[in-house]
Structure 1
């Protein structure tokens, strides 16, 4: 059943509409008993951060997101999966990433969404640079050991 499910993947500059994406997934898929959404926002880091600049490797980012999503669909028996990641300069409190996992039951939907996010944070080719409210520009944000540990729990 799950091997025929195709993930819906987008990398885009413009914002996304969470409810429209949930509606798109839920109306195109039958048998859903649970939908879990995760929307990652740009933090303001205690009022110090104005924006994040996100870059990606075009083509490769989409391919890696599709690979990760397909793994989640197969592993958790998902009935649908959406993953949208933005790029460009994103202001504090704006959306960066959206993951929607649909499954017959809640645990599979939760696990699928968590799995996708843990792998997106560590495997998809995206890079972040901080822009401070004071006009400063930081370097590219380094990967965190905690993100690797979160991913590794799925192995």
Structure 2
């Protein structure tokens, strides 16, 4: 059976392995988090001409696909830019594994009026396959990974769970 690794799991892998563990164990703290709520509002109000939230196999949830065969992921800020880029690379990888060719990716930052083009290389495929294995290992752990106190922690939806 294929791993059920989602785009959010890839994103959390780069943001915080502990947050990833909580998410994998269905401990969800995002619903009341102000930053998450603002991000959802931004997502809903940006790029209104496009069909939104294209869910594929309940694994990936693409914010939208433009007419130029570009899949888009909308982010509030570049605070964890690598995480958003790898999330889009995972979407491209997931589609590539299912025979979808010729599609590009983009991370959009509407508040900054910027975007980053994302492509999937052979090295990215190898890296993603390694990451998928590591995510599976984290998911199988009995307890969450150790706390890594970073500048992102203070605004994290899981802050209270880790520090209080």
Name the structure where strand makes up a greater proportion of residues.
Answer: 1
Tell me which protein shows more helix as a share of its residues: 2
TM-score (norm 1): 0.29
The TM-score normalised by the length of structure 2 is: 0.28
Q: Which has the higher contact order (CA 8 A, sep 6+)?
A: 1
